[in-house]
């Protein structure tokens, strides 16, 4: 079984910037997303009952850059995505707590 590729924050940011098919996916809760997020990220909460349904709506030809707080939930979300047919899924291994790039703050 193929596992999601873990990337450190610097590599994650560089690869995402160079990838014209990049989609940034936040799998945390709506509250976490509202407090702080990486700009232009799409929220699909891995703990939501609609997670599987929302993932199924995504274009499998795109590249997905997935993050959560510490990289654990996004690792599992990424592996699920690979299991259901996505080809290019990357996990921000340290999560947003290890992210040094731009952030959007709401609160």
Inter-CA distances, 68 with 4, 24, 26, 61, 96, Å: 14, 11, 6, 22, 6
CA distance 82 to 4: 7
**DSSP conformational letter for 4:** P
Q: Does residue 67 carry a catalytic annotation?
A: no
Catalytic residue among 27, 44, 68, 81: 68
Residue 80: which H helix or E strand, with range? helix 72-83
- Residues assigned a catalytic role: 68
């Amino acid at each position: 079984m193929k596992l999601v590729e873990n990337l450190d924050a610097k590599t994650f940011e560089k690869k995402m910037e160079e990838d014209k098919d990049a989609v940034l996916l936040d799998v945390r809760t709506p509250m976490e997303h509202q407090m702080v997020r990486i700009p232009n990220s799409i929220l699909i909460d891995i703990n939501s009952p609609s997670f599987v349904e929302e993932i199924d709506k995504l274009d499998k030809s795109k590249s997905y850059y997935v993050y959560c707080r510490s990289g654990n939930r996004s690792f599992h979300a990424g592996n699920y995505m690979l299991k259901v047919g996505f080809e290019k899924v990357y996990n921000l291994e340290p999560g947003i707590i290890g992210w040094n790039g731009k952030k959007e703050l709401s609160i």
